[in-house]
Structure 1
Amino acid sequence: MIRVLIVDDEALVRAGLRLILDPAPDIEVVAEASNGSEASQACRRHRVDVVLMDVRMPVMDGLTAAGEIGRLPGAPKVIMLTTFDLDEYVHAALRAGAVGFLLKDTPPQELAGAVRTVAAGSAMLAPAVTKRLIEEFARTPQKSAPARAQLAALTDRETTVIRAVARGLSNHEIGRTLSMSEATVKTHVSRSLSKLGLTNRVQAAILVHDAGLLD
């Protein structure tokens, strides 16, 4: 069972999201929160697998909360929900540790699928968001010295694996490409994220891009 926390400052929005998710046999809405501070507290009180969270909220916004939640032991996966399809929010949310970014006009049938996707360990971005991110990465190649210095903590093998992660390959695909077992790939990914001080594969992809290693 995937345990979900819904976070939005509008009660009607929370009720609507609950109505969409409650019928799913493998999803349980365990709590609701009206701002980022309440969300962080709820994650401490409940065992939560996935957080569906608005960006703009009083007291503590969703981006700040995503960063705070990401530092919790056994942190849940965070999907940001917003009506604002703005690059600044996408970048900030991903850098804060969110692994999903959906617009509030996402069809109801796709919402439960997104929850399942991130719970399984994959990223989930709205198609329009993904398209623009790819276009921007292609348009603005950059090589950041701090990013390269951060990646220098990795061994050559770990660097090769993390570059494959940044290209969007799954552990199975990386193993097949590099002639490694999937378990070995998983170990390399986990160790690399720990060395880099990152919480998920999306953050790793951003770092590799910033270092100019996707060329």
Structure 2
Amino acid sequence: MIRLVIVDDDILIRESLNIIIGIDPNIEVVAILENGKECIDYLCKNQVDIVLLDMRMPIMTGEEVLEEISKRKINVKVLILTTFDEERLISSAIKHKTSGYLLKSSKPDKIISGIKSVHLGNGVFESEIVSKLVISNQNEENKYKDNNLDIYGLTDREKDIVKLISKGLSNKEISSEVFLSEGTVKNHITSILSKMNLKHRTQIAIEYLSRSEN
């Protein structure tokens, strides 16, 4: 059973999510909270698997919640669910190693499948959000520099693979580009994830694209 907390300042949204998600027999909504402070207080006293978190809230924002979870080393996965797709908020979510970022316009079954996917250790990122950063990358392509990746201690080959991941290439396509087997590419990606302290392939792309904005 997945223990889930819903955090949103809009009572209609959080109650609707509670009803929709609560129908699934594999998910238990253990709390519905209206601001970030309530969320942190609850997490400090209770075992939770996933927080479904809004980014814009009074008293304590989603960004501040992510900072507190990181600072207090609370063992919980976070799936962002918001109406906002601002690049700054996306970058903040990635910085704090969230497991996913979905928009509230997503269909209920997509939100539920996203919760289950995050629980299994996968990343769930709205295609619109990734596309937003990719478009920004294409519009300012001449601003990209390899030293955006130097802080991670990546090899030249790993840097090449990061760039190809950011373009949306599959492992098979990457292997053709760099003339390596798919198995070797997978090994490189495992190394990249470790060095960049990320959990998911999609986070590699988003982290790289978001850093280009700095």
The TM tier, using the shorter chain, reads 0.7 to 0.9
Q: Any idea what the Cα deviations from partners look like across 1:12-33, whole Å, max 9, x if unmatched?
A: 3221111111111221212232
Report if the CA contact (8 A) 1:147-1:210 is conserved: no
* TM-score normalised according to structure 2 size: 0.73
The change in CA–CA distance for 1:22 and 1:95 in structure 2 (over 3 A counts) is: same
Secondary structure of 1:179's counterpart equals helix
The change in CA–CA distance for 1:171 and 1:143 in structure 2 (over 3 A counts) is: closer
Q: CA RMSD in A?
A: 3.5
Shift, 1:115, TM fit: 0.8
Aligned pair count reads 207
* TM-score normalised according to structure 1 size: 0.73
Give, in whole Å, the separation in 1 of the partners of 2:2 and 2:168: 24
The change in CA–CA distance for 1:210 and 1:84 in structure 2 (over 3 A counts) is: closer
Select between 67-76 and 46-55 the one with higher mean Cα deviation: 67-76
Q: Any idea what the Cα deviations from partners look like across 1:147-167, whole Å, max 9, x if unmatched?
A: 33312x346676677667656
Secondary structure of 1:43's counterpart equals helix
Shift, 1:48, TM fit: 2.1
Shift, 1:50, TM fit: 1.8
Q: Which amino acid aligns with 2:12?
A: L
Equivalent runs, 1:133-144 vs 2, <5 Å: 133-141=133-141, 142-143=143-144
Give, in whole Å, the separation in 1 of the partners of 2:76 and 2:168: 21
Report if the CA contact (8 A) 1:147-1:207 is conserved: no
1:31 match: 31
Q: Which amino acid aligns with 2:183?
A: S
Identical counterparts, % of pairs: 31
The change in CA–CA distance for 1:28 and 1:193 in structure 2 (over 3 A counts) is: farther
Structure 2 unaligned runs (5+)? Answer: none
> Does 2:154 align with 1:150?
no
1:9 match: 9
Report if the CA contact (8 A) 2:158-2:189 is conserved: no
Shift, 1:211, TM fit: 6.8
Secondary structure of 1:121's counterpart equals coil
